[in-house]
Amino acid sequence: MFLTHRIGSEAKGVRRSTQKAKVNAIPKINLPDLSITRESAFFYAGQLEELPPSFASYTSPHRHDYYAVFYFVSGSGSHEIDFENFAIEPGSIFLLRPGQVHSWHLHGAFTGYALKISREFCSVISDSADLASDFPLFAHGAPVAKLSPGENAGRIRDDFHRLVSEYRNGTDARFWFALARVLLFEIDRLPRPEILPTPRPAAEFLRLLDENISREHSAFFYAGALGLPVHRLNRICQNYLGGSAGKVIRERLLLEIRRLLVHSTLSVQEIARAVGFADPSYFSRFVRKNCGSSPETLRRGVRKVL
């Protein structure tokens, strides 16, 4: 099985000045260690009701560094994903991509299925670590986080059941991945607002943003990492991501800042350092300019609403 436990390993090489920030940052939920074949490569398929009791108590916002699909066959509650609230009801399918912050409140008993796939697992099994290249539902900025199977509920339930059964009893990770892709193609066919596919350069830019946004805010850095001139990256972003490279970088940075302001216990100064601002005063001006209020006011206002 391609699973690994990363708690503890992430601290390697962390400078003393950032250790406190990591302790208080948004928690990451990791899967249990069940036979390691490659660092950080894991795959999981199971039934929601068989997960540890702590699953139902994930009411505190946290983030995963893997793709996840949660299918509630029965049950009720609420699910917040990056500041957007959704009702949990029978037939709810939720899709999360790496880095998104979510939490839920579950009311009573529930049944369903869970699928979790890391980027590293994808790169081991296939030639790409990016599920969004084949499944736009996982793309950054995709307008869909919740779907309903409707008349396709039986087929999706059968696909999940077969995948879970093979995962429990089989040993061929390639077959797990093949069945997972069949399931994702089935989900991808469900009625939803149209999602245009993201071309590879744009998808790769978004992936690099996720990995580097806390350190790099310059379009020149990302253009260089992609082997493109800046004007070419700007054109790609204008055509497919709704604005210049600078605008996309700024929006992604502001999302990360908002996540930390609302969901972490870091001070404003610590958040500034955590997202790459050496000068807390400049950080505050940046937030005020783009959000219309100071970091402290934004934190108090959003927390009061939530």
CATH number at residue 184: 2.60.120.280
The token pair that represents 38 in the structure block: 């490659």
C-alpha span between 280 and 272 (Å, rounded): 6
96-123 burial by CB neighbour count: b if 16+ within 10 A, else e? bbbbbbbbbebeeebebbbbbbbbbbbe
Residue-level pLDDT at 15: 34
> Same domain for 148 and 41?
yes
Residue-level pLDDT at 24: 52
| Distances from the Cα of 1 to the Cα of 69, 167, 226, 238, angstroms | 19, 9, 33, 41
Residue-level pLDDT at 304: 40
> Same domain for 25 and 70?
yes
> Same domain for 257 and 121?
no
> Is the residue at 161 inside a domain?
yes
Going by the DSSP 8-state scheme, the letter that residue 197 receives in this structure is P
> Is the residue at 4 inside a domain?
no
> Same domain for 57 and 136?
yes
Number of domains in the chain: 2
Q: Give strand pairing partners of 80.
A: 85, 103
> Same domain for 180 and 39?
yes
Q: For residue 211, is pLDDT > 90?
A: no
| Distances from the Cα of 225 to the Cα of 70, 102, 205, 211, 275, angstroms | 34, 30, 9, 12, 19
Give the domain-ending residue among 188, 219, 254. Answer: 188
Residue-level pLDDT at 299: 84
> Is the residue at 276 inside a domain?
yes
Q: Which CATH number fits the domain that encloses residue 261?
A: 1.10.10.60
> Same domain for 40 and 177?
yes
> Is the residue at 32 inside a domain?
yes
Band of residue 69 on the pLDDT scale cut at 50, 70, 90: very high
Mean pLDDT of the region 78-105? 87
Residue-level pLDDT at 175: 92
Give which of 275, 162, 252, 257 is closest to 202, Cα–Cα.
252
> Is the residue at 251 inside a domain?
yes
- Three-class DSSP category at 257: helix
> Same domain for 167 and 53?
yes
> Same domain for 156 and 283?
no
Q: Which domain holds residue 120?
A: 9-188
Give which of 305, 216, 200 is closest to 258, Cα–Cα.
305
* Cβ proximity of 66 and 116 under 8 Å: yes
Amino acid at residue number 123: S
Q: For residue 250, is pLDDT > 70?
A: yes
Residue-level pLDDT at 36: 34
- Three-class DSSP category at 213: coil
